[in-house]
C-alpha cells in the first residue's frame, strides 16, 4: 500500500472518529498528532493525512455543500459515518488538491468504501464523486 493510501486511511480514521464522537476536527487532529509523534516510522503517511484533515476542516462547508448537492435524495445525516469521511476526503482531493488526479481520488474512495462500508457504498461513492467531478469540469 502506498504512503498516500495509508495517509487516506489515517485521515478516514480521524474524520470518522471526530464524527462519531462529535469532536471538533481540530481536537481529533490534535489527538492523532500526539499518537503520530510516537510512530516516527509512519511519518510519511502522517504528513499527508494531516494535510487532508486540515483541508477538509478548512473547506468543510464547501465540501459538504458539494456532497449535499449531488447526493440525489441523500442527506449527509443519512449517510454512514464512514461514507461521509471517505466522501469528504475525495471531494477535498478533487476540488482542492491539484496533485491528485481525479481518477485516483475516485478510485481510492471506492476502494475504501469497498473495504470499510456497506455493500451499496462503493457504487454510491463512485456515482456521487463522478457527478461532482463532472459538474466541476475535473478530468
Could you tell me the CATH number of the domain that includes residue 44? 1.10.940.10
State the pLDDT at residue 32.
Answer: 85
State the pLDDT at residue 7.
Answer: 92
The number of distinct structural domains making up the chain is: 1
The answer, yes or no, to whether residue 76 has pLDDT greater than 70, is yes
For residues 118-126, average pLDDT: 96
Comparing 26 with 43, the larger pLDDT belongs to 26
Domain that holds residue 116: 3-135
- How far, in whole angstroms, is CA 104 from its chain's centroid? 13
d(CA 25, CA 63): 14
- How far, in whole angstroms, is CA 107 from its chain's centroid? 12
Contacts of residue 20, defined as CB under 8 A and 6 or more positions apart, other chains included, come to 81
The answer, yes or no, to whether residue 11 has pLDDT greater than 80, is yes
Q: Which ranges constitute the DSSP H helices of the chain?
A: 3-21, 25-36, 43-58, 60-70, 81-96, 102-116, 121-135
Amino acid at each position: 500500500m502506498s504512503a498516500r493510501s495509508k495517509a487516506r486511511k489515517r485521515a478516514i480514521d480521524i474524520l470518522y472518529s471526530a464524527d462519531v464522537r462529535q469532536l471538533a476536527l481540530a481536537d481529533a487532529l490534535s489527538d492523532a498528532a500526539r499518537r503520530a509523534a510516537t510512530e516516527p516510522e509512519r511519518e510519511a503517511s502522517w504528513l499527508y493525512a494531516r494535510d487532508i484533515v486540515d483541508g477538509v476542516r478548512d473547506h468543510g462547508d464547501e465540501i459538504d455543500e458539494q456532497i449535499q448537492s449531488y447526493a440525489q435524495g441523500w442527506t449527509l445525516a443519512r449517510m454512514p459515518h464512514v461514507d461521509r469521511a471517505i466522501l469528504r476526503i475525495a471531494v477535498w482531493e478533487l476540488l482542492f488538491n491539484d496533485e491528485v488526479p481525479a481518477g485516483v481520488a475516485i478510485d481510492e474512495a471506492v476502494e475504501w468504501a469497498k473495504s470499510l462500508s456497506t455493500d451499496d457504498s462503493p457504487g454510491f461513492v463512485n456515482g456521487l464523486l463522478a457527478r461532482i467531478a463532472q459538474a466541476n469540469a475535473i478530468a
